[in-house]
Amino acid sequence: MDTIRVTVWGEYRHEKSNPKVAEVYPDGMHNAIAAGLREGPGLTVTTATLDEPEHGLTEAKLAETDVLIWWGHRAHDEVSDEIVERVRQRVLDGMGLIVLHSGHFSKIFKVLMGSTCNLKWREADERERIWVVEPGHPIAAGIDDHFEIEREEMYGERFDIPQPETVVFISWFQGGEVFRSGCCYTRGKGRIFYFRPGHETYPTYYHPQVKRVIANAVRWAAQPPSPAVFFGNYKPLETIVPSNG
């Protein structure tokens, strides 16, 4: 099976209570993100939301998810610790995880990072310019040296995260801040990508480069399929000392 199975998890609360958000994302942010992914090839995309039973993240659902995308904001505390631990175990076991924007304060991101994940922020309808600092990285494939988002919420350094394995993007904000906007990690066997853009009042998830980055990140975070094993004529000796564990 060559398709990558993606589950887009959305908190799906702002859309129901804030008319401004509902106008931008009438079907919910998770469905807009999912629709963006479905524009490209090779992905099978479903969604899950906070208010579904088990937040839509049953053992069965996670078992058939290769990459989980996470958007949450105002209701981080309502995500049950049990589900967070379930997701964490799946990440450690190899499921990819893409954490978007305000998900920096989600329980799942914080337990995987170990630090406070604090940052500076400001809502001022300001311009964000996202620069590619690792142009050879698969997550930057198809992106020019930078792209712009006309209006976004500002996030600024110091972003209190462990030093990323790779920083793919750095954002410039009109008001004077910078931010490590695309950060790669491995935890256990799982690959994690934090991507900054996506405040609920802006149409960020319709932005073509934003869609492209998220799709790239899904492909990067998916465990590589194991092609047919090579057969060879080499026969190793028995091992000297059997290892426990």
43-49 sheet: strands from edge to edge: 43-49, 4-10, 67-71, 96-100, 190-195, 178-187, 166-173, 120-132, 146-156
> CB 49 → a second copy: shortest distance, Å?
24
Q: Which residue number, 22 or 92, has a Cβ lying nearer to a second copy? A: 92
**Closest distance between a second copy and the C-beta of residue 225, in Å?**
8
For a second copy, the closer CB: 60 or 240 = 240
* Segments of the chain assigned E as strands: 4-10, 43-49, 67-71, 96-100, 120-132, 146-156, 166-173, 178-187, 190-195
Minimum CB separation of residue 242 from a second copy in Å reads 9
Residue carrying structure tokens 């990459």: 67
Residue 16 CB, shortest distance to a second copy, in Å, is 24
Between residues 16 and 20, which has the closer beta carbon with respect to a second copy? 20
Judged by beta carbon, residue 62 or residue 149, the one nearer a second copy is 149
CA–CA dist 235, 71 (Å, integer): 49
